[in-house]
Chains A and B, each alone.
Chain A
């Protein structure tokens, strides 16, 4: 665990600095209130009413997030394999991972074919 203590130390420093800055930001500086200042900025136009809860946004972003999770997990499988690669005897490790990558590529091709990667 000793290895991780410095990370925590730097994290505490960083968090302290960021939190202190954000709090200081609200304490310093002049404050003059008006109605328009507290509205959202929409290029000088009266802001359009936002639906409660933030409203809707394109489903593409959701799809991207799902695909990210799928492929990110694949990468996490690749890391230990890469680290331990030199300890494999023969071509076992290579063929195993080639099979895995090809399987993922099939899914990838399917997503591509179905237009999951199109953004227009």
Chain B
């Protein structure tokens, strides 16, 4: 293949020699597996510390070998294939769960163009004109692994877990897809490397022509609502607390992998953690400026965004995000399933649609030469006024009447549904024993 020199954008990709492609692939693959081990270790240690426990510390130094021990033990456990399962799908499901999780990472930019053994190549396996779509597609394929695992197990818990998981993931995928739209609007591209370079520097804005200032460049700040929506959907997509309904022990035993043991179970475990890493990496890329150094560093040190240093910034942001995941797990309880679906369909979706329209309007006005900062200030004033108004309204109205204040309304006797099992009226007087030969009526006790 022809070497790519002096080209810009996507043309940098797709011209690596075969050994470089293979090398990058193997390195990314190894990185993902290693990151799973580190995530499991970090999660158990951090949650331990959050609960004032030491956490695993006997297997290896600081318990670092704990995930490895789990893996070896899992590999040496008996592999149970229950009698009634659909054998082919039962074997296929863990493969289907793990493979797409690993593929998604191919398009994550880890750094700028560097020189590897004389070849100038970007620190990214590849980039596509539809890179983010690949991530969405792979997460959709990953759902097949989960739902097929539930289906093939022929067990009620597994089936319910698989269905719940698929319904949850596809519900949150809508909000996730919508949260990306504003990012694409700003970057003008679906390719991750261009989204990162679009966050290289903010524009300048003027405040009513009085003075000008640099706007921040990270999408997490510029498109803050999109970022918040993405973080919510990230939790939903990765089936983790507070949205880990598909495997809630209290209700579904272990959810879709109830019947899985040995390495097949570990594949699901692996897929869950790789999804966590990939979603964090995607959040870093789309919203936190990717591999670019955070603001104070890049201002004082121009070399921070070249060579191999960006790998450090990228990993730093990634680790922060994963820590955020773990922190949530250490502090939040599990939500109810109807609350979960309500949040996804009735809150995140309309909010993101409205936000997209708002962003598009501002963008269109700016493209047509209007002074958007004036609009922004006016809109901010209106929002603040609305907030203040609602606050005053609440203060005037006083606290809402609580249930205890209101007298219990008289309930009409419920008509017995036809064909139902006959039950005695539920407010029947209780027997409170007898006193001096007479029965004590209810309420006089």
Contacts and interface: CB of A to CB of B under 8 A. Distances in A.
B79 A29 contact: yes
Given A3-B127, A25-B75, 10 more contacts: A3-B13, A3-B126, A3-B128, A6-B126, A7-B126, A14-B101, A28-B79, A32-B78, A42-B156, A68-B170
Contacts of B159: 54-55, 57
Contacts of A30: 78
10 contacts: A6-B106, A10-B125, A18-B98, A21-B98, A22-B267, A26-B262, A28-B76, A32-B78, A93-B364, A112-B346
B349 interface: yes
B216 interface: no
A43 B29 contact: no
B264 A10 contact: no
A17 B50 CA distance: 35
Contact of A10 (B91, B102, B341): B102
A84 B153 CA distance: 46
Interface in A70-116: 71-72, 75, 78-79, 82-86, 88, 90-91, 93-94, 97-98, 101, 104-105, 108, 112
A119 B360 CA distance: 32
Contacts of B103: 7, 10-11, 14
Interface in B43-88: 75-84
B177 interface: yes
A46 interface: no
Given A4-B128, A17-B29, A41-B259, A22 B95 contact: yes
B315 interface: no
A79 B174 contact: no
A73 B182 CA distance: 17
A65 B98 contact: no
A117 B346 contact: yes
A18 to B, nearest CB: 4
Closest 8 CB pairs of A and B: A25-B263, A2-B14, A14-B102, A40-B155, A6-B126, A119-B338, A82-B184, A75-B177
Interface stretch (B185-193, B302-310, B371-379, B382-390): B185-193
Contacts of B177: 72, 75
A13 B155 contact: no
A74 B118 CA distance: 46
Contact of B188 (A25, A40, A67, A86): A86
A9 B356 CA distance: 36
Interface string A37-48: 111111100011
A22 to B, nearest CB: 6
B253 to A, nearest CB: 7
Contact of A61 (B166, B188, B263): B166
A47 B129 CA distance: 51
Interface in B78-119: 78-84, 91, 94-95, 98-103, 105-107
Q: How large is the interface on B (under 10, 10 to 19, 20 to 34, 35 or more residues)?
A: 35 or more
Interface of A: 2-7, 9-11, 13-15, 17-19, 21-22, 24-26, 28-32, 37-43, 47-48, 50, 54-55, 57, 60-61, 64-65, 67-68, 71-72, 75, 78-79, 82-86, 88, 90-91, 93-94, 97-98, 101, 104-105, 108, 112, 117-120
A45 to B, nearest CB: 11
B329 interface: no
B184 A9 contact: no
Given A3-B127, A14-B98, A72-B173, A97 B360 contact: yes
Nearest to A15: B99
Contacts of B342: 117, 119
A86 B341 CA distance: 35
A117 to B, nearest CB: 5
Interface string B262-295: 1110110000000000000000000000000000
A79 B24 CA distance: 29
Given A10-B125, A68-B171, A39 B106 contact: no
B167 A7 contact: no
Most buried by B among A39, A94, A112: A94
Given A14-B102, A29-B77, A50-B84, A22 B25 contact: no
A68 to B, nearest CB: 4
A38 to B, nearest CB: 4
B262 A25 contact: yes
B13 A18 contact: no
Given A22-B95, A75-B181, A98-B357, A14 B75 contact: no
Contacts of A25: 75, 79, 262-264, 266
Contact of A65 (B99, B126, B167): B167
Contacts of A43: 253
Contacts of A10: 25, 28-29, 102-103, 105-106, 125
Given A3-B14, A22-B95, A41-B157, A101 B357 contact: yes
B368 interface: yes
